Amino acid sequence: MIHETAVVDAGAELAEDVEVGPFTVIGPGVSMGPGCRVGPHAVVEGNTRLGAGVRVFQFASVGAPPQDKKYAGGETRLEVGDGTVIRECATLHVGTEEDEGVTRVGADCLVMAYVHIAHDCQVGDGVILSNAVTLAGHVHVGDRAVLGGMSAIHQFCRIGPHAFVGGASAVSKDVPPFASVAGNRARLYGLNSVGLERAGFAPETVEGLKRAFKALFHKKRPRDEALAEVAASPDAEIPEVQQVMTFFRESERGVVR
């Protein structure tokens, strides 16, 4: 149902059962899948695709041009995966031509009130962005990461899958997969043991990750030396440990330690 006061451009593609609330504006390049619901006083614009069952709450701004002086109005886009919830006053911007040209938010994410997802961010599935989290441009967030309220993530940073960032943190380096970090500037507190337990990771995997974290991040020594130690250990056979090692090896900004 589309409320009589809503403004929906004729060029927008909405599934038959999409609901649009009062005084909401839907632009011409927008596509919405089945079961989408957009609340009152929201704006969905740009080349924006909302997957099935996406819910947008009141006063959210979805698909606006990026806050980038270099952006010249290119045909960039925003994609939001199935089942994601975008709460009040959140802002999600389309990508820029400097990167892949697309901002992506995965499926089953919770984007809480006043969250900002800037241009070219890549957010995985099942991510929770708590109130007032700010992602600068080009930030990558892995699957099922959790970012605490009012955290700020520097541009080009990577947050690994299943990582936890404590509230009001300022993150200026990469956060390893499965890590727990907090502070301004953020520092590593260890493994996200609670999150891994809730996600059903096997105890032997968690123990292997704890040993790998100690070798990689809790000793002050060169990166290659730390990686070599873990690579020579039995823990190197654990896929999740391999994932952490690859992330660490490929980090260009350095990791939170």
Instruction: Just list the catalytic residues.
Output: 119-120, 137
Q: What DSSP character marks residue 184?
A: B
Name every residue whose Cβ is closer than 8 Å to that of residue 178 and which is 6 or more positions away in sequence. 160, 161, 162, 163, 191, 192, 195, 196, 209, 213, 240, 244
Q: What are phi and psi of 250, to 5 degrees?
A: -90, -5
| 8 Å CB contact between 163 and 180 | yes
Plot region of 190 (φ>0 → left; ψ -120 to 50 → alpha; else → beta)? left
Backbone angles phi, psi at 113, to 5 degrees: -60, 140
Distance separating alpha carbons of residues 129 and 115, to the nearest angstrom? 7
- The CA distance from 65 to 46, in Å, is 7
Q: How is residue 80 written in tokens?
A: 């939001």
DSSP letter assigned to residue 92: E
Angle between helices 223-231 and 203-217 (to 10 degrees): 150
